[in-house]
């Protein structure tokens, strides 16, 4: 391994249909789905390919991306896809898994159709859930639970929302 670069190979891609979302896992990686159906939730690591541009990779500061945020915040204090390595992480429930076809049906993902999937990990409370956490005051009124995010007015949070 070199410390000057890395090679990442997608394991599949995201498909977005009319109200349907699926992780389409490439054939060589389908055996890796074995026994994943025992978990109710997964963490999906995906590549923000639409923002994989030198200009976005150089961003280290975001100028007030959220209405209640300070005027300037570091990119690591955001969930922005514009970052030095455009890797995103989304936790979500699993609707179903078809091992033969490599289709993992999910209720939603904040990615575009065609987005490359880098990895899938099971959500496990022993390593993914933390008891005592806190957030800055500027985002303290955001939903405290994933399930509440679907009905939250996210457009009201972003500075440049229409």
Q: Are residues 105 and 44 in the same domain?
A: yes
10 in Cβ contact with 115 (< 8 Å): no
Per the structure, the count of domains in the chain is 2
Q: How far from 129 is each of 40, 54, 123, 160, CA to CA, in Å?
A: 14, 34, 9, 32
Shared domain for 42 and 58, answered yes or no, is no
Residue 66 inside a domain? The answer is yes
Grade residue 126 by pLDDT with cuts at 50, 70 and 90: very high
d(CA 10, CA 49) in angstroms, rounded, equals: 11
111 burial class (0-12, 13-18, 19+ CB within 10 angstroms)? buried
Q: Cβ distance 78 to 59 under 8 Å? A: no
Identity of the highest mean pLDDT range in 97-106, 124-133, 134-143: 97-106
Give yes or no: residues 62 and 92 share one domain.
no
Q: Give the torsion sign (CA, 68, 74, 77, 78).
A: positive
**Which structural domain, as residue segments, surrounds residue 71?**
54-82
Residue 151 domain-assigned (yes or no): no
Instruction: Give the DSSP letter of residue 42.
Output: E
CATH number of 33's domain: 2.40.30.70
* pLDDT of 2 above 80: no
Q: CA–CA separation, 156 vs 122, rounded Å?
A: 32
Task: Assess if residue 2 is contained within a domain.
Answer: no
Indicate if the pLDDT at residue 90 is higher than 90. yes
pTM, full prediction: 0.88
Question: Is 4:87 a contact under the CB 8 Å cutoff?
Answer: no
**Opening angle at CA 53, ends 49 and 56, nearest 5:** 105
> What is the rounded distance in angstroms from the CA atom of residue 34 to the CA atom of residue 159?
43
Kindly report, residue by residue over 51-67, the tens digit of the pLDDT: 888 899 999 998 888 88
Same domain, 92 and 114: yes
């Amino acid at each position: 391994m070199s410390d000057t670069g890395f090679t990442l190979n997608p394991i599949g891609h995201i498909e977005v249909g009319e109200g349907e979302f699926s992780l389409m896992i490439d054939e060589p990686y389908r055996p890796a789905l074995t026994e994943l159906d025992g978990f109710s939730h997964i963490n999906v690591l995906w590549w923000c390919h639409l923002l994989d541009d030198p200009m976005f990779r150089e961003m280290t500061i975001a100028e007030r991306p959220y209405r209640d945020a300070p005027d300037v915040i570091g990119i690591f204090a955001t969930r922005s896809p514009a970052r030095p390595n455009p890797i995103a992480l989304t936790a979500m429930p699993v609707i179903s898994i078809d091992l033969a076809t490599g289709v993992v049906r999910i209720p939603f993902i904040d990615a575009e159709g065609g987005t490359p999937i880098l990895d899938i990990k099971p959500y496990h409370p022993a390593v993914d859930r933390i008891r005592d956490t806190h957030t800055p005051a500027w985002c303290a009124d955001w939903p405290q639970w994933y399930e509440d995010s679907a009905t939250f007015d996210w457009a009201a949070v972003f500075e440049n929302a229409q």
